[in-house]
Amino acid sequence: MEEWVGLKWHDYVTRQAMGEFPEYAVHLKDEARTLGVLFRAMGGDPALSLVTAEPRHFQIRRKFLQKLAGTHRKFELAWRDEESLRLPDRLALFPSRKVNRELYLWLAALASLGEINHHSWLKGNQAMVQQLLERWPGLEPMYQRLVKHTLRWRPEPESLRGSEAEREAAIRQALIHPGSVDDLPDALTDPWPVVLWLYPVLGRGKLKGQIIGDDNTMSKSGGLAKKRKRRRAERVDAFDKDQGLMLFRLESLFSWSEFIPIDRAGDDSEEEDADAVADDMDMISVSQDRREASSAIKFDLDLPSEENDDLHLGPGIHLPEWDWRRQDYREKFCCLQPLLSKDAVPSPLPEHLNRSAQTLRRQFSALKPLRQWERRQLEGEELDLDACLERMVQHKRGIGEVDQKLFRQCKQNQRDLACLVLTDISLSTDTYINNHQRVIDIARDGLQLLSEALTASRDPFALFAFSSRRRDHIRFHHIKSFEEQYNDTTRGRIQALEPGYYTRMGAAIRQSIKLLQARPEHQKILLLLTDGKPNDLDLYEGRYGVEDTRMAVQEAHKAGLTPFCVTIDEEANEYLPYVFGSSNFVVIKDPTQLPGQLPKLYMNLTR
C-alpha cells in the first residue's frame, strides 16, 4: 500500500511540476514525413536524417515543486549538424495541439537555413529568424503565435533576481523583435531554454540518434527505427562479481541500481532488461575486466594470412573516393583487390532449388532471341514473293523506277542488354533470419535462381561479390565474368561465398561500372544486392559512406548504366531514396522471399 501511494504521489508531483499539457502532445514520429518535405522544400540539405534530439543539461533556477519532482534539469532542444536534423521526440509545451505542431514546423524551417555555433547563438538565431521571415512572409502569423505562447511558458523577469532578470528580459526582447539584442548579461545560472531557436552541436564526437523516416532520407512509413541514444560515460574500476550486493562502502548501495556490468566483447548478455535500464540512465560506467576476455571474443576481423586467403587476381586496383566535406574526389584513395575463391568446388544446383529453377527456365526461355524474317532486303536467303509481285505489277504499268529489294533474310532478334550482379557479403549477412537461415544463405539461393533464369534468356551477365576492411583492402570476389559460361564451376563459387568484414559500396560500384562500360550492349544494368548501409572501420560511415555511394551511383547514370538496388534492410527507406532515387530500389520485407522475387524484379526491370 505504501509503495502504491508513493508511486501515485510521485506521478502527481511530477505532472504538476512539468507544466506541460499531455493531452495536446505532438510526436515527432507522426510529423516526420511533413517535416522532411518542408525542410527540403525550403532549401534544406536533402542528405540530412531526421533524428530525435538528446536531452541537454541546464543549470537553471528552479521552483520548489520542480526541485521536489527532480524535473527541469534536462531539455530536448532543436539543433543540426553535418549528418542530421535533431528535434524533440515530443512537444507538449503549449495548451494547443495546433501550436505544438507549428513549433515543429517552425524549427524545421529555421534549420533549413543552416547550423548555429556556440559563438553566435544569440545573434545567429535572431539573424536566421529575420532571414526566414523576410524570405517567407507567410510564416509571420505563425511565429507571432509561437512567441506569445513561449513567453507564457518562460519565467517572468519579476520572479528572477539581478542579472538573471535582465537576461530574461533581453531574451524576451530578442524573441519579440529579432535583431534588437547584441549580448546577454552574465549570470551564475544558465538561461531558460529558448524553444524557438536552434542550439549548437551537442558535444564534439559523432552523435547517434533515433532515426525517424519520411520519403527521402527518412522512412516512408514515418516509424521509429532502433534507438541509438548518446550517453555520458565514466571509467571505473572493474566490478567484482563475487562481492555480491554488500560492497565495501555502504554508500555504494544507493548507486547499485545504476550499475550494469556490460560485456563489451559479447552479444549474448543475460540481462533481458539491460536496454530499458540503460535508456533511463544519465551516465553509464565502463570498466575493464580482462579475466574472461578470451571466452567472450566471438570472431576476429583481422585479415587472413596470404596462404589461407583466396587467390589474388592481380596486384590490386586503385580507385577514387568522394569526400563530401571537401566536395572533391580523393584520387587513388582505395585499393580494390579482385579475388577468386580457392575453396570453391564445382557442384550442381542445390536440390531444394530444382523445382523453382525449372519454372524460371520455362518463363525466361520466352525472352531468348527468336529467328524472324525481315522482308524487302537487297540480298537474302529467299525471294520475297510479295516484293516480286509488286515489281511485276510496276513493270507492266511502265513505272520507271522499280524496287530492287526482292529478298527476305532470317535474322535473330537479340535482347540488347547486359547485367552485372553485385552482392554484398559483409559480416552482417551472417545474421540469422527466423533462427534457422542466414542472410548469406538466402543471398546464395537468390544468385543461383537468378543465374538459372538469365541463362535461359541468354542475356549476358556477370556475378561479383564484395566486402571491405578499410580503404586499402576492398575484396572484390570473382564469381562469373561476362565471357564465362554458367556451369557447375560458377555454382560452386556461389556456394563458397562466406560473410566477412564491412561494406564499402562506392569502390565496388565504380569497378562494376568499368566492367559494364566495356560491354557492347545498348542497355547495361547494375543490380546491387545488399542487406545494410555503407560502412567500414575508418571514416566510411554515416553520411560520408552514403555520399560516396550516391556519387558512385550518379557516375553509373552518367555512364549510361541503369543502377538498381535490392535490399532486405528494414531501415533502407532512410537513405536509399537519396542514394538511388525513389524508383531505383526495392525493399524485400520478408528476406526469405528474395530468391523467388529476384528473377521477377529482373524481368520487370528489363521488360
Residues 336-375: tens digit of each pLDDT: 999 999 889 999 999 999 999 999 888 888 776 555 667 7
Mean pLDDT, residues 512-524: 93
Asked if 500 contacts 397 with a C-beta cutoff of 8 angstroms, the reply is no
Distance CA 512, CA 7 (A): 62
Q: Which three cell numbers stand for residue 130?
A: 529575420
Asked if 461 contacts 453 with a C-beta cutoff of 8 angstroms, the reply is no
H/E element holding 135? helix 121-135
User: Residue 391 — very low, low, confident or very high, per pLDDT cuts 50/70/90?
Assistant: confident
Sheet arrangement for strand 370-377: 370-377, 407-413, 382-383
User: Residue 65 — very low, low, confident or very high, per pLDDT cuts 50/70/90?
Assistant: confident
Which pLDDT does position 215 carry in this prediction? 37
Quick one: DSSP state of residue 271?
-
Which pLDDT does position 483 carry in this prediction? 94
Asked if 327 contacts 464 with a C-beta cutoff of 8 angstroms, the reply is no
User: Residue 400 — very low, low, confident or very high, per pLDDT cuts 50/70/90?
Assistant: low
Mean pLDDT, residues 523-531: 93
Helix (H, G, I), strand (E, B) or coil at 206: coil
Mean pLDDT, residues 164-190: 91
- 55 CB-near residues (< 8 Å, 6+ apart): 74, 75, 76
pLDDT higher than 80, residue 107: yes
* Strand ranges inside 493-548, DSSP E: 523-530
Q: Which three cell numbers stand for residue 110?
A: 529555421
Which pLDDT does position 278 carry in this prediction? 58
Calculate what percentage of the chain has a pLDDT beyond 70. Answer: 78
Query: Taking the mean position of all CA atoms in its chain, how far away is CA 76?
Result: 24
User: Residue 513 — very low, low, confident or very high, per pLDDT cuts 50/70/90?
Assistant: very high
The highest-confidence range among 132-141, 281-290, 587-596, by mean pLDDT, is: 132-141
Asked if 287 contacts 238 with a C-beta cutoff of 8 angstroms, the reply is yes
Distance CA 289, CA 205 (A): 25
Residues 298-345: tens digit of each pLDDT: 444 556 666 667 888 888 999 999 998 889 999 999 999 999 998 899
User: Residue 248 — very low, low, confident or very high, per pLDDT cuts 50/70/90?
Assistant: very low
Distance CA 336, CA 315 (A): 9
User: Residue 571 — very low, low, confident or very high, per pLDDT cuts 50/70/90?
Assistant: confident
Q: Which three cell numbers stand for residue 478?
A: 570473382
What mean pLDDT, rounded, does the chain reach? 81
Query: Taking the mean position of all CA atoms in its chain, how far away is CA 337?
Result: 26
* Strand ranges inside 437-511, DSSP E: 437-438, 461-468, 474-480
Which pLDDT does position 259 carry in this prediction? 46
pLDDT higher than 90, residue 265: no
Higher pLDDT, 209 or 199: 199
Helix (H, G, I), strand (E, B) or coil at 473: coil
Asked if 440 contacts 428 with a C-beta cutoff of 8 angstroms, the reply is no
Give 35-91 as a DSSP string: HHHHHHHTT--TTPEEEEPPEEE------HHHHHHT-SSEEE--EE-SSEEEE-SEE
Pairing mode, if any, of strands 523-530 and 417-424?
parallel
Which pLDDT does position 110 carry in this prediction? 94
User: Residue 9 — very low, low, confident or very high, per pLDDT cuts 50/70/90?
Assistant: low
Q: Which domains does the chain have, with CATH numbers?
A: 2-212 (no CATH), 232-263+272-296 (no CATH), 317-364+415-606 (3.40.50.410), 374-413 (no CATH)
Does the pTM exceed 0.85?
no
Grid look-up 523445382 returns: 355
pLDDT higher than 60, residue 260: no
User: Residue 280 — very low, low, confident or very high, per pLDDT cuts 50/70/90?
Assistant: low
- The backbone torsions φ and ψ at residue 420, rounded to the nearest 5 degrees and listed phi first, read -115, 125
